[in-house]
Amino acid sequence: MAGGGELSADSTVAELLDRWLGDVRNSDRAQQTVDYYERAVEKLIKPGLGAVTLRESTTSQIDRFLRAVPSVSGQRDARVVLRQAFALAARYDCVPHNPVTDAYRPPASRSKPRALTVADVHELRRRIKAWQDEQRLGPRRAYDLVEVVDVMLGTGARIGEVLALRWQDLTDLDAERVAVTIAGTVVTSKGRGCYRQDHPKTEAGWRTVILPQFAIDALRRQRDRGIPSAEGLVFPTRTGSARWPANVRTAWRKARGDEYAWVKPHNFRKTVGTMVERELGVGAASVQLGHSGTAVTERHYVERAVDAPDTRHVLDKLA
């Protein structure tokens, strides 16, 4: 078979992946998406499938490989990458058809959104403060973790979006009505480390949110700390640079306690989505969270109880 560029039926899967990744890097994909693909290629696919030629890459071969990946999430990641890479191979006539299309499809995640209660939020604030106050010597650990959490709860923003906030993104903190524009996110990559990206994760994520009073109070406390930052970041490191989200997550795991092991920073976002949806509807929740439509909001961000039908006329017979 004639291949496109250097690719042919005798090329290996590793060579196909390298060619596909080159196209991805030259596209308009977000850097975090490129990093996600690169991790899947290097850690999951190349070790198990890289030496196989495209000629040998049958549906059954791909199927066996995917089933052998240890975790379901890894199976999903590997399949996403392989499906796109082999679509490129099919366009170049290196394979007669995409062998991934009919290969094993890992089960979709069935985890349901879980939101915090008001009592949970109060208790978690107390735990963060207690964890911070335990330290007596040395630089204060995660000294502004309460403020980071309060801004997440007051906006519904992702952790990277909160860490990317600049003072210029806020209106006057001493005004009666304060708003913040979500205009970026913090990302990490092998080449650049941790840095502020000048746009959110998605186009719909660029939004302006009116802040509740507790979030304004948190931002005022942070302002009063006067932490210098060349970029004007609200939550920089002590040296003023962009903060690694992984470090905030690590501090959070230490502060929350075993009883709240299920709570991750993303649960704050789900809590906001759930509360806004119950009071103002799913449309308002979708806009608050920066989604392009309501489907993702309903499926992944709003905790729902199952509504039973009105059976009073049936059950009254038991009186």
Q: 119, 109 in Cβ contact below 8 A?
A: no
Residue 41 placed within a domain: yes
The pLDDT of residue 142 is above 80: no
The CATH number given to whatever domain includes residue 158 is 1.10.443.10
Distance, CA of 256 to chain centre = 20
CA neighbor of 222 nearest in space, from 205, 243, 200 = 243
- Choice among 135-144, 145-154, 304-313 with the minimum mean pLDDT: 135-144
Q: Which stretches of 185-224 are assigned E, i.e. beta strand?
A: 185-189, 193-197, 207-210
Residue 268 placed within a domain: no
| pLDDT reported for residue 60 | 96
Residue 238 placed within a domain: yes
Half-sphere exposure of 94 (CA within 13 A, CB side): 26
Tens digit of pLDDT for each residue in 160-204? 999 999 999 999 999 989 999 999 999 887 777 899 988 888 888
Residue 19 placed within a domain: yes
Give yes or no: residues 192 and 128 share one domain.
yes
| Residue 176 to residue 261: CA distance in whole angstroms | 37
Dihedral (CA of 108, 114, 115, 121) sign: negative
Residue 134 placed within a domain: yes
pLDDT higher at 317 or 230: 230
| Residue 12 to residue 103: CA distance in whole angstroms | 19
Give yes or no: residues 157 and 199 share one domain.
yes
The pLDDT of residue 2 is above 60: no
| Residue 235 to residue 227: CA distance in whole angstroms | 8
The CATH number given to whatever domain includes residue 53 is 1.10.150
- Choice among 46-60, 239-253, 291-305 with the minimum mean pLDDT: 291-305
Structure-block tokens of residue 100: 């991934």
Give yes or no: residues 240 and 201 share one domain.
yes
Give yes or no: residues 87 and 122 share one domain.
no
Structure-block tokens of residue 282: 């799913």
Give yes or no: residues 254 and 152 share one domain.
yes
- DSSP-assigned beta bridge partners for residue 207: 182
Residue 25 placed within a domain: yes
Supply the mean pLDDT for the chain: 90
| Residue 187 to residue 194: CA distance in whole angstroms | 6
Parent domain of 190: 118-261
- Choice among 103-112, 149-158, 208-217 with the minimum mean pLDDT: 103-112
Give yes or no: residues 80 and 128 share one domain.
no
Give yes or no: residues 70 and 171 share one domain.
no
The pLDDT of residue 127 is above 90: yes
Give yes or no: residues 169 and 42 share one domain.
no
For the chain, the maximum distance between any two Cα atoms, rounded to a whole number of angstroms, is 80
Report the run of H or E that residue 182 belongs to, with start and end. strand 179-182
Q: Which stretches of the chain are assigned E, i.e. beta strand?
A: 179-182, 185-189, 193-197, 207-210
Residue 198 placed within a domain: yes
Give yes or no: residues 211 and 87 share one domain.
no
| Residue 288 to residue 278: CA distance in whole angstroms | 13
pTM, whole model, 2 decimals?
0.76
| pLDDT reported for residue 3 | 44
As a whole number, mean pLDDT of residues 84-102 equals 95
Give yes or no: residues 24 and 83 share one domain.
yes
| Residue 184 to residue 186: CA distance in whole angstroms | 7
Select from 221, 243, 261 the last residue of a domain.
261
CA neighbor of 303 nearest in space, from 277, 266, 280, 279 = 277
Give yes or no: residues 62 and 152 share one domain.
no
In this prediction, residue 1 has a pLDDT band, given cuts at 50, 70 and 90, of: very low
| pLDDT reported for residue 307 | 64
Domain count, the chain: 2
Structure-block tokens of residue 2: 């004639």
Give yes or no: residues 56 and 183 share one domain.
no
Structure-block tokens of residue 31: 């850097």
